[in-house]
Structure 1
Amino acid sequence: MTGFAIALLFGSAFVAAAWTLYASIRPQLPRFAELLLPASALPALPPRLSRVTVRAVPARLPTRKQLRAAA
């Protein structure tokens, strides 16, 4: 009987802790759902923002001018 009471006590404490954790996370669940949606569900960018220009990277870095000692 004592074992049953201890199991009931710890079980109810576990259920209370789990419910408190769920109740604290529940308001944030829509934000998590937005993060987990596929990227195609996101709104498309306007055409002027969707264009990306890529500049050619120079093959060699430009040489810096040599520093001269102050006179």
Structure 2
Amino acid sequence: MSAFAVMLFGAAFLAAIWTLVASVRPQLPRFAALLRPASALPVLPPRLSRVTVRAVPARLPNRLPLRAAA
């Protein structure tokens, strides 16, 4: 009985590995694109590469104080 259990476990394990490989394999070109050197990436035009930072107030202005219901 234990040989049957080992065979059953092995078959389930192989099915899980097969499913994992089959689901990852179509995504491999995307992973390869992530690992390419940065020089292969397109360069942004200088107009878009600038970053502007606005000063944000520390606290939002208090518009109207809340009043208790009468």
TM-score, normalisation: structure 2:
0.52
* Alignment map for 1:17-56 (pairs within 5 Å): 17-35=16-34, 37=35, 41=38, 42-55=41-54
Q: Which amino acid aligns with 1:18?
A: I
| Residues matched between the structures, number | 60
Q: Which runs of 5+ in 1 are unaligned?
A: 65-71
What is the TM-score normalised by the length of structure 1?
Answer: 0.52
The one-letter code of the counterpart of 1:3 is S
**Any idea what SS the aligned residue of 1:6 has?**
helix
| Residues 1:6 and 2:5 aligned together | yes
Tell me, in whole angstroms, the C-alpha distance in 2 between the residues paired with 1:6 and 1:54: 64
Identity %: 66
Change (3 A) 1:12 1:52: same
Gaps of 5+ in 2: 64-70
Write the letter of the residue equivalent to 2:12. A
Larger Cα-atom Rg:
1
RMSD: 3.3
